[in-house]
Structure 1
Amino acid sequence: MTAPAGAPALRPTRTRVRLVRLLVLLLATTLVMLAVSLGAVLSVLDAARTVRDHTTEAVLEVAAARAALSEADQAAIEAFRTHATLTGPGQDYANNLASASQSLAKVAEANQAGAAGTGILQVVEGLVAAYSGAVGQADAHFRAVGTPDAHLPQPGEKPRPSEVLGAADLWYASRLLHGPDGVLAQLTALQGLQRAELDDQLDDGMSPGLLPVWLLAPAAAAALLVGTQWYLWRRFRRRFNLPLVGATALTVGVGVTLAVALGLQLRLDDVRARTDTVLADRQTGIAVADTSGRTGLVALLTRYCDPAAGCGSTVADFTAQPRFAATAAHERKVAEGATGVAAAARDAADSGGIEYLAPAFSIAALGLIAWGMSRRIDEYRYRA
């Protein structure tokens, strides 16, 4: 309605101005709550899904490849030490080598260590090929001897050249695997990179210590809504504004979704603990295989070294290295642990739809706030 000519300009009442400002503050706080809650929930779910689909597989498969290669080397050495000219490195060696190749292929698909991880995998691929080739050469040289036990060198007997070459090839193969820059050292470094990525991804989520920060926005919105209800009651003498009551309930619902997201984060922490348990069990098996393999290699090399000159300083230093016996975790326990990691990762990524609830609650609260406040604002138009 237009004011008559010459009439004083209409101005909004003070109450209307206060209500409009309060509406703007409520809407701004709710928008902040929307952004914070959605960011928190998505950060947890993104981390959970990456951990489920890629990171845990990359970490555990690197450890599985290390174990398989150690067991392959142990099997090959034992086969050559006992009856090399009959069976070569043996079926256990072939099976473990194939298992290691499968694990490395899975690591390549799930790699989370970026270019550094890819580079290590390329180096490992070349070293494993060289290792397999050296074992194959050792097999060829040992088979050239003929029947096995009749040609095992006796004390004081000089070994045949093909036997010496076979032992040298086996020594070279073992150094490719166990050397300072060998396959196992490279895979240990790769496992560390993948494990560090797991930590980074979990730290990007919602830690329990930061929960008060995440809840600050919905808490502020809820407090402001309650304060608005009190102000409207004092000003209009109406006990409840039902749209604002609904907005308050939805704001509490956003806080609940954040608590659920924290629960998912705690499940991710359980994934980390389970992963470390599997890695520790794998390590005991690797240590046992390494100890057994190196002990067998020492016995093999001693058999074929020159009786007078011995095996040389390099082999002597290797022989003198301490080898600690360990008790390996049962393979069934390791397999069950890996299955438990996968199950825990799936549980952590099962959101129950909270990524949709948080924005839905916030947007609905925005609508209710606008509706509830507009009814009161409309009661105060303008004054002269």
Structure 2
Amino acid sequence: MMLRRSIPRLLVHKRFSSASAGTIQQLNAKLSPKDIPDEATVFSMIQPTGKFHLGNYLGATRAWKDLSDLQKGNQKIIFGVADLHAITIPKPDAAEFRRFRKEAIASILSVGIDPSKVSVMYQSQIPEHSQLHWLLSTFASMGSLNRMNQWKSKSNIKEVDNETIGKVKLGLFSYPVLQAADILLYRSTHVPVGDDQAQHLELTRTLAEQFNNTYNVDFFPIPTTVFTPTSKILSLNSPDKKMSKSDPNQQSVIYLTDEPDVIKTKVKKAVTDSISESFNYDPIKRPGLSNLMNIVSGIQRAPIDVVESEFQKFNNYRDVKNYVSEVIIEDLKGPREEYKKLIQDEAYLDKIINEGQGRARDLANKNVNEIMKIMGFN
């Protein structure tokens, strides 16, 4: 039986009030002005692992550009580099870390995000993130954090027992509380994330409701989780796992900065299968081929069945891979050329970061002062 996926969607979990049940709203892959309210505050961040790869682009930053293009009215849009989150895992040396942070900013801007419409910043430059993290940690239960999946996966924990838990760093364990603080600090209403962050957003909503109920206020909005529409992009050579910069086989990863000949070589070596008489989408039985289809679907914003139909005109995998390479090369041409210019202009990047940080911190400081007042500190 052939498995099909319908049109790529942007899934939105909506909570209209703290008492209402969650619903799922399915929208088209391409955002329209009506999708984000005029008064919305949109917030998202990405970790500084250096220059971005195809999964970062299709799963996050291209949707950020869509939001930037549609910015209107009194909307606030804040995108950041989550450098405080980055140190919860084995740390690079300081010089490499600084380079990764700068490359992340250049990658964000390279896709065409307009810094005059969007505040782009480093998380660590705004100390209110850490301050609210502490305040919210007094609401978060150990039980709720223990149920989180990310600290287990990042610690490579298969079975939870006292010995393995004892080795987990506190920063990694409380990571979801800091993420909640990141979001709630700006009183965010819409948070575009990948589906692997859905559990953390539920905790964010829970903490927002607990704070509001404890102090009998309606201060924190209950944020909407906006899932980016593209399917998860997998490793080219190990399609059982996500595309990742940390993959020891770098032929499995396509970077925004890769030259056309490099992209062609990587796609040519991508794992597929021995069936060449038909090219059907089946992520269980044909994960390699399905991953290539997902890449094309994501880039073209086309339904999988349309991409699958297009693939039927090919007679062999050589033609399939040539086509996939052409689609990727053409789409990444602009970001690749823009990144090259940006990464050489450190003064410009610093200017954008400082301006974005200033706007974001003004809002963060205002909100934290109000939170402290509600709690009785001021």
Question: TM-score scaled to structure 2, two decimals?
Answer: 0.22
Question: TM-score scaled to structure 1, two decimals?
Answer: 0.22
| Pair member with larger Rg | 1
The one of the two structures with greater contact order (alpha-carbon pairs below 8 A, sep at least 6) is 1
- Structure with bigger strand share is 2
